[in-house]
Structures are given as C-alpha cells and as structure tokens.
Amino acid sequence: MKKPRPGANAARTATEVDRQVGHNVRRIRNALGLTLMELSEQLGISHQQLQKYETGSNRLSAGILMAMSERLGVPISELFDAGGTTKKSSESESDRLKVVCRRVIERTRSRKTLDLMARVLKAIDENGSL
C-alpha cells in the first residue's frame, strides 16, 4: 500500500484565509439582502456549497472567487480583507450603498437606461454633490 506523502491533503484543507473570505462573502451577501439561494443560483452552485464556502469548511477556487467578486460587486481584495468588520458604521453603510449601486449598474442591460444613469450621476457631480 502506497504511503501518502506529508501534506498531501493540506492543499485541500480549509485555512484561516478561507474562513475569512467565507465570513466576508456572508457579510457582503447579507448587506445586499441576498439569500443563500439567490446568490448560489447566480453562481451556478448549490446553496449547500455556498454555505460551506461561507463557513470556511470548503476552500474557494480562483474561478469561484472571481465569480463571487463579480456577483457581489466588490473587488476580490475586499473578500480577503481581515478588517472588513471593524469599519466605522458610517463607512460600512457607505460601502454597502456603493455595492448596491454597482450591482444595479452591472445588472442593467439597456443602453438607454445606462445612458440615463450616467447622465444623472454626471448631473449630481456637476452640482458639486460628489
């Protein structure tokens, strides 16, 4: 019988980083008001698998990390942010609103609607509100 090499399963074992990423995915998903089912359907995975990612019991592949980042509307680096839960409440509320805005923009398929959104944002900026 072949003896397993040392650390052979270590690459598949979830790490503290995996748990941190999972925690951030759950925090952002909840802030966006998405259910496990909604996000898992968008990612094309089962809600059970998403739950395992969020609890850190399963590792996330590079492809899933990229898809999570896109679906949640955040940079991948934010998924790794260990300080994400210690932000001031006004900062986290602003971050949450930015994520919501990004998601709305990214889900918009109509060129006409996107043009209108851009005009509104430019008008707000020209009034010195930004």
Residue pLDDT, tens place only, 62-115: 999 999 998 888 889 989 988 754 445 555 677 777 777 877 888 889 999 999
The two structure tokens encoding residue 70: 């896109």
Q: How far is the C-alpha of 92 from the C-alpha of 88, rounded, in Å?
A: 6
How far is residue 51's CA from residue 60's CA, in Å, rounded to a whole number? 12
Instruction: Give dist(CA 11, CA 31) in Å, integer.
Output: 31
Local confidence band at 55 (pLDDT 50, 70, 90 cut-offs): very high
Of the candidates 94, 74, 92, 96, the residue with the CA atom closest to the CA atom of residue 84 = 92
Size (the chain), residues: 130
Residue 33 pLDDT: 83
pLDDT surpassing 80 at residue 34: yes
Report pTM.
0.63
- Give the whole-angstrom CA distance, residue 49 versus residue 67: 14
Does residue 9 surpass a pLDDT of 80? no
Amino acid at 7: G
According to the model, what pLDDT value does residue 10 have?
Answer: 54
Is the dihedral angle over the CA atoms 61, 66, 69, 74 positive or is it negative? positive
